[in-house]
């Protein structure tokens, strides 16, 4: 960044943390108390791995500030999947416990953080509830850089208007796929390719609602058409 601070630059930092294997990190107080011969690596290391990654992100932010390029630098933090099933997280003020759902067709497997820092464009502390998927990053970056669109079709939609707080069309759904399983996620529903339709509750986890399963034929038909449109491309 120091070498490129006077011109445009792009940095992609694919951190191994907090992926498996779960290991001790430098300065981890809870997981480093035992000698090496007695220390076991496992999910108990996960909280300190998160803290260590958070510290590294903080170092990056401070470096941008120290170089005086904060107002012209966009930092995006995201992940590619939910936490592993061996990890249980605590959510919100109610301290609800949420079991990891990586590799599952649930919000716990695919709903991940997307944090954006862009002083002067994105107001600090704001929250956006629109749907975004990783395929949307490329068109967003192209629009920010006012770069030409590539010749091939892009399977994504820029979320730059949403970052700026503008009133613009947002995505109706996102497509999640893992091996031979996939689902469509709208703001209110998750519909798998096996035909299971579940409503999303306030914690972002799907919640079965048997009383409504048979009353949502319109929703089912609409999402089936979405699957069909994807298969045609």
What pLDDT is stored for residue 210 in this prediction?
44
pLDDT of residue 74: 95
What is the pLDDT at residue 14?
92
pLDDT at site 212: 46
The residues near 132 (Cβ < 8 Å, ≥ 6 apart) are 114, 159, 162, 171, 174
- Which residues of the chain fall below pLDDT 50? 204, 210-214
The SS3 of residue 71 is helix
pLDDT at residue 31, rounded to an integer: 73
What is the per-residue pLDDT for 75? 96
Q: Alpha helix locations (H) across 4-104?
A: 46-66
Q: Please give the mean pLDDT across all residues of the chain.
A: 85
Q: How far apart are the first and last CA of the chain?
A: 39
CA angle 58, 10, 143 (to 5 degrees): 110
- Count CB atoms within 10 A of the CB of residue 163: 20
pLDDT of residue 211: 43
What is the DSSP secondary-structure string of 157-201? Answer: ---HHHHTT------S-EEEEETTEEEEE-SSEEEETTS-EEEE-
């Amino acid at each position: 960044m120091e070498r490129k601070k006077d011109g445009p630059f792009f940095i992609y930092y694919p951190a191994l943390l907090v992926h498996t294997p779960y290991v001790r990190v430098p300065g981890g107080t809870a997981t480093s108390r035992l000698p090496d011969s007695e220390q076991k690596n496992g999910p108990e290391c996960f909280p300190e791995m998160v803290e260590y990654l958070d510290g590294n992100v903080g170092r990056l932010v401070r470096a941008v500030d120290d170089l005086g390029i904060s107002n012209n630098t966009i930092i995006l933090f995201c992940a590619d999947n939910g936490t592993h099933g061996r990890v249980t997280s605590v959510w919100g003020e109610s301290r609800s416990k949420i079991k990891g759902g990586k590799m599952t067709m649930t919000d716990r497997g695919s709903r991940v953080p997307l944090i954006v820092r862009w002083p002067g464009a994105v107001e600090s502390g704001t929250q956006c509830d629109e749907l975004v998927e990783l395929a949307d990053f490329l068109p967003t970056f192209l629009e920010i850089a006012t770069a030409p669109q590539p010749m091939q079709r892009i399977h994504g939609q820029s979320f730059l208007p949403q970052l700026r707080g503008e009133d613009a069309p947002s995505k109706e759904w996102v497509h999640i796929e893992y091996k031979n399983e996939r689902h469509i996620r709208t703001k209110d529903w998750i519909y798998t390719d096996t035909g299971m339709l579940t409503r999303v509750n306030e914690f972002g986890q799907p919640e079965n609602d048997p009383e409504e399963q048979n009353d949502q034929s319109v929703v089912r038909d609409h999402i089936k058409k979405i699957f069909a449109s994807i298969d045609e491309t």
